Amino acid sequence: MANDIMIDMETLDTSPNCVILTIGAVRFDPKGNGVVERLELRPTIEEQTEKYDRIINEDTLRWWGEQSPEALEEAMGDGGRISFSESMEALYKFCWNRRCVWSNGASFDIVVAETAWRQLGMRIPWPFYTVRDTRTLYEVAGVSLKDKKYKSSTTHRAVEDAEHQAIVVQDAYQKLIKAGLISS
Protein backbone atom coordinates (compact mmCIF):
# COMPACT_ATOMS: atom_id res chain seq x y z
CA MET A 1 0.00 0.00 0.00
CA ALA A 2 1.41 3.38 -1.00
CA ASN A 3 1.18 5.15 2.32
CA ASP A 4 4.80 6.02 3.19
CA ILE A 5 6.28 9.49 2.73
CA MET A 6 9.80 10.43 1.64
CA ILE A 7 10.90 13.97 2.52
CA ASP A 8 13.83 15.96 1.15
CA MET A 9 14.73 19.58 1.83
CA GLU A 10 17.19 22.06 0.44
CA THR A 11 18.35 24.48 3.12
CA LEU A 12 20.78 27.26 4.03
CA ASP A 13 22.33 25.53 7.05
CA THR A 14 22.69 22.08 8.53
CA SER A 15 21.09 22.87 11.89
CA PRO A 16 17.48 21.99 12.79
CA ASN A 17 16.57 25.70 12.76
CA CYS A 18 17.88 26.34 9.24
CA VAL A 19 16.20 28.38 6.53
CA ILE A 20 14.32 25.96 4.28
CA LEU A 21 14.65 26.79 0.58
CA THR A 22 12.55 24.00 -0.91
CA ILE A 23 10.64 20.98 0.34
CA GLY A 24 9.93 17.87 -1.68
CA ALA A 25 7.82 14.97 -0.51
CA VAL A 26 6.46 11.91 -2.27
CA ARG A 27 3.99 9.21 -1.27
CA PHE A 28 5.07 5.68 -2.16
CA ASP A 29 4.95 2.01 -1.26
CA PRO A 30 8.41 0.78 -0.17
CA LYS A 31 7.61 -2.63 -1.65
CA GLY A 32 6.06 -1.13 -4.77
CA ASN A 33 7.29 0.60 -7.89
CA GLY A 34 7.45 4.38 -8.33
CA VAL A 35 5.61 7.12 -6.49
CA VAL A 36 1.89 7.86 -6.46
CA GLU A 37 1.86 11.49 -5.33
CA ARG A 38 4.31 14.39 -5.21
CA LEU A 39 4.40 17.60 -3.19
CA GLU A 40 6.73 20.49 -3.93
CA LEU A 41 6.89 23.56 -1.67
CA ARG A 42 8.91 26.77 -1.76
CA PRO A 43 8.63 28.66 1.55
CA THR A 44 9.45 32.37 1.61
CA ILE A 45 13.03 32.92 2.71
CA GLU A 46 12.76 36.44 4.20
CA GLU A 47 9.85 35.45 6.45
CA GLN A 48 11.94 32.64 7.93
CA THR A 49 14.84 34.94 8.81
CA GLU A 50 12.87 38.02 9.85
CA LYS A 51 9.90 36.50 11.69
CA TYR A 52 11.27 33.16 12.86
CA ASP A 53 15.04 33.81 13.21
CA ARG A 54 15.88 30.72 11.19
CA ILE A 55 19.58 30.30 10.39
CA ILE A 56 21.66 30.99 7.29
CA ASN A 57 25.21 29.65 7.32
CA GLU A 58 27.94 31.38 5.30
CA ASP A 59 29.64 28.09 4.39
CA THR A 60 26.35 26.74 3.07
CA LEU A 61 25.82 29.94 1.05
CA ARG A 62 29.29 29.48 -0.45
CA TRP A 63 28.45 25.86 -1.27
CA TRP A 64 25.28 26.99 -3.06
CA GLY A 65 27.39 29.52 -4.99
CA GLU A 66 29.42 26.61 -6.40
CA GLN A 67 26.34 24.82 -7.77
CA SER A 68 25.02 25.09 -11.32
CA PRO A 69 22.97 28.16 -12.29
CA GLU A 70 19.94 25.86 -12.67
CA ALA A 71 20.36 24.43 -9.17
CA LEU A 72 20.87 27.91 -7.73
CA GLU A 73 17.72 29.23 -9.42
CA GLU A 74 15.75 26.18 -8.32
CA ALA A 75 16.78 26.66 -4.71
CA MET A 76 16.86 30.43 -4.37
CA GLY A 77 14.59 31.80 -7.09
CA ASP A 78 11.49 33.73 -6.07
CA GLY A 79 9.02 31.83 -8.27
CA GLY A 80 6.24 29.90 -6.57
CA ARG A 81 7.08 30.94 -3.02
CA ILE A 82 4.38 30.73 -0.36
CA SER A 83 4.55 31.65 3.31
CA PHE A 84 6.60 29.50 5.64
CA SER A 85 3.54 28.63 7.73
CA GLU A 86 1.50 27.70 4.62
CA SER A 87 4.35 25.49 3.43
CA MET A 88 4.60 23.68 6.73
CA GLU A 89 0.80 23.30 6.94
CA ALA A 90 0.77 21.75 3.44
CA LEU A 91 3.58 19.35 4.38
CA TYR A 92 1.76 18.51 7.61
CA LYS A 93 -1.42 17.58 5.71
CA PHE A 94 0.57 15.54 3.18
CA CYS A 95 2.25 13.59 6.00
CA TRP A 96 -0.79 13.12 8.24
CA ASN A 97 -1.93 9.54 8.93
CA ARG A 98 0.82 7.84 6.93
CA ARG A 99 2.46 4.52 7.74
CA CYS A 100 6.05 5.75 7.89
CA VAL A 101 8.07 8.84 7.05
CA TRP A 102 11.49 8.50 5.42
CA SER A 103 14.46 10.71 4.74
CA ASN A 104 18.03 10.26 3.58
CA GLY A 105 19.42 10.02 7.11
CA ALA A 106 17.16 10.27 10.14
CA SER A 107 18.93 13.27 11.63
CA PHE A 108 18.28 16.04 9.12
CA ASP A 109 15.20 16.51 6.93
CA ILE A 110 12.78 15.01 9.44
CA VAL A 111 14.36 16.89 12.34
CA VAL A 112 14.18 20.16 10.36
CA ALA A 113 10.48 19.59 9.65
CA GLU A 114 9.73 18.71 13.27
CA THR A 115 11.62 21.78 14.50
CA ALA A 116 9.68 24.01 12.10
CA TRP A 117 6.33 22.60 13.21
CA ARG A 118 7.24 23.11 16.87
CA GLN A 119 8.32 26.67 16.09
CA LEU A 120 4.92 27.28 14.48
CA GLY A 121 3.10 25.74 17.46
CA MET A 122 2.00 22.71 15.45
CA ARG A 123 2.00 19.04 16.38
CA ILE A 124 4.21 16.51 14.62
CA PRO A 125 2.08 14.52 12.12
CA TRP A 126 3.71 11.16 12.82
CA PRO A 127 4.59 9.08 15.88
CA PHE A 128 8.35 9.02 16.58
CA TYR A 129 8.53 5.28 15.98
CA THR A 130 7.45 5.61 12.33
CA VAL A 131 10.58 7.53 11.25
CA ARG A 132 12.73 5.59 8.77
CA ASP A 133 16.29 6.17 7.54
CA THR A 134 17.27 5.33 3.96
CA ARG A 135 20.98 5.08 4.65
CA THR A 136 20.53 2.24 7.12
CA LEU A 137 18.26 0.37 4.71
CA TYR A 138 20.70 0.87 1.83
CA GLU A 139 23.53 -0.61 3.88
CA VAL A 140 21.49 -3.58 5.08
CA ALA A 141 20.28 -4.31 1.53
CA GLY A 142 23.72 -3.85 -0.02
CA VAL A 143 22.65 -0.89 -2.17
CA SER A 144 25.56 1.33 -3.16
CA LEU A 145 24.76 4.88 -4.23
CA LYS A 146 28.03 4.79 -6.17
CA ASP A 147 26.32 2.41 -8.61
CA LYS A 148 25.48 4.32 -11.81
CA LYS A 149 21.95 2.95 -11.56
CA TYR A 150 21.41 5.15 -8.50
CA LYS A 151 22.99 8.35 -9.81
CA SER A 152 20.88 11.25 -8.62
CA SER A 153 20.23 14.62 -10.17
CA THR A 154 22.61 17.51 -9.54
CA THR A 155 19.87 20.13 -9.73
CA HIS A 156 19.10 19.80 -6.02
CA ARG A 157 15.38 19.90 -6.71
CA ALA A 158 13.93 18.55 -3.47
CA VAL A 159 10.93 16.74 -4.98
CA GLU A 160 13.15 14.97 -7.53
CA ASP A 161 15.57 13.98 -4.77
CA ALA A 162 12.68 12.65 -2.64
CA GLU A 163 11.39 10.62 -5.60
CA HIS A 164 14.86 9.26 -6.35
CA GLN A 165 15.34 8.24 -2.71
CA ALA A 166 11.92 6.50 -2.68
CA ILE A 167 12.83 4.51 -5.79
CA VAL A 168 16.16 3.42 -4.27
CA VAL A 169 14.25 2.35 -1.13
CA GLN A 170 12.00 0.26 -3.37
CA ASP A 171 15.03 -1.35 -5.00
CA ALA A 172 16.50 -2.10 -1.57
CA TYR A 173 13.24 -3.71 -0.46
CA GLN A 174 13.17 -5.83 -3.63
CA LYS A 175 16.69 -7.07 -2.88
CA LEU A 176 15.63 -8.03 0.64
CA ILE A 177 12.46 -9.74 -0.64
CA LYS A 178 14.43 -11.73 -3.26
CA ALA A 179 16.90 -12.78 -0.57
CA GLY A 180 13.99 -14.05 1.52
CA LEU A 181 14.78 -11.66 4.36
CA ILE A 182 11.40 -9.90 4.31
CA SER A 183 8.04 -10.87 2.87
CA SER A 184 6.46 -9.24 -0.12
Contact 99, 1 (CB under 8 A): yes
Structure confidence by residue, pLDDT tens digits, 58-99: 999 999 999 999 999 999 999 999 999 999 999 999 999 999
List per-block mean pLDDT (blocks of 10 residues) for the chain, which spans 184 residues.
95 98 98 96 97 97 94 93 98 97 95 98 97 95 79 79 95 95 89
Q: Could you give the CA distance from residue 80 to residue 57 in angstroms, rounded to a whole number?
A: 24
Show Cβ contacts of residue 146 under 8 Å, excluding neighbours closer than 6 positions: none
Phi, psi of 113 (to 5 degrees): -60, -45
Domain parsing of the chain, residue ranges: 4-178
- Topology annotation, domain 4-178: Nucleotidyltransferase; domain 5 (3.30.420)
Instruction: Give the pLDDT score at 146.
Output: 74
Q: Could you give the CA distance from residue 10 to residue 109 in angstroms, rounded to a whole number?
A: 9
Kindly report the three-state secondary structure assignment for every residue of the chain: CCCEEEEEEEECCCCCCECEEEEEEEEECCCCCCEEEEEEECECHHHHHHCCCCECCHHHHHHHHCCCHHHHHHHHCCCCCECHHHHHHHHHHHHCCCCEEEECCCCCHHHHHHHHHHHCCCCCCCCHHHEEEHHHHHHHHCCCCCCHHHCCCCCCCHHHHHHHHHHHHHHHHHHHHHCCCCCC
Global model pTM greater than 0.85: yes
